């Protein structure tokens, strides 16, 4: 059984994850408009992954006999000044999500909620991967800025993501 505090905080995280999905979908739409289909495909894959994260919390709340309550999802930005700026915004967002997960873990520990802590440990590890992946792309885009043609190569490589 979830405590009231934990249930509320996990529901807020569903909203954060759905917003993440929405944000990446907005980035996918922008990359499509910029004729960079590889980057758009990468963002669509990321949007699907974020939806999966939201559903992990959804399932867990139900399994713990809690009540899922969905709130409005805020409107994401529509455009970015360059591909690098979009991936930098993505990295900043993932750092924000890492902060949310850390706060949730602190709450689970304070509430002596081992089941929630178990779920959150998966997210702690996932955030290490999320930040490292996006940071790697940001670094490659920074190098690509100096080399003509590198942007198209990057776009092709990002489009390989399954
Ligand atoms: Fe759900 O990890 Fe990204 O935001």
Distance of CA 52 to the CA centre of its chain: 10
CA distance 152 to 111: 50
CA-closest candidate to residue 97, choices 131, 148, 72, 147: 131
73 has pLDDT over 80? yes
User: Ligand 1 centre from 90 Cα, in Å?
Assistant: 9
For residue range 14-69, what is the model confidence (pLDDT) as tens digits?
Answer: 999 999 999 999 999 999 999 999 999 999 999 999 999 999 999 999 999 999 99
Complete domains list, the chain, with CATH: 4-158 (1.20.1260.10)
What backbone phi and psi angles, to 5 degrees, belong to 18? -70, -35
Distance from the alpha carbon of residue 49 to the mean position of ligand 1, in angstroms: 8
Residues within 6 Å of ligand 1 by CB: 17, 20, 50, 53, 94, 97, 130
**125-130: Cβ within 8 A, 24+ apart:** 126/53, 127/94, 127/97, 127/98, 127/101, 130/94, 130/97, 130/98
Say what the pTM is: 0.95
Would you state the structure tokens that stand for residue 31, as one six-digit string? 């990359």
Atom of ligand 1 nearest to the CA of 127: 2
């Amino acid at each position: 059984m979830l405590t009231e505090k934990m249930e509320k905080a996990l529901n807020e995280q569903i909203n954060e994850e759905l917003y993440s999905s929405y944000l990446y979908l907005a980035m996918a739409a922008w990359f499509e408009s910029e004729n960079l289909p590889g980057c758009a495909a990468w963002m669509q894959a990321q949007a699907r992954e974020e939806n999966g994260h939201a559903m992990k919390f959804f399932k867990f709340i139900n399994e713990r006999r809690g009540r899922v309550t969905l709130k409005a999802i805020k409107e994401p930005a529509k455009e970015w000044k360059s591909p690098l700026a979009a991936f930098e915004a993505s990295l900043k967002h993932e750092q924000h999500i890492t902060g949310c997960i850390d706060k949730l873990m602190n709450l689970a520990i304070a509430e002596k909620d081992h089941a929630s802590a178990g779920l959150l440990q998966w997210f702690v590890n996932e955030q290490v991967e999320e930040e490292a992946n996006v940071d790697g792309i940001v670094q490659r885009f920074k190098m690509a800025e100096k080399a003509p043609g590198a942007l198209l190569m990057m776009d092709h490589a990002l489009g390989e993501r399954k």
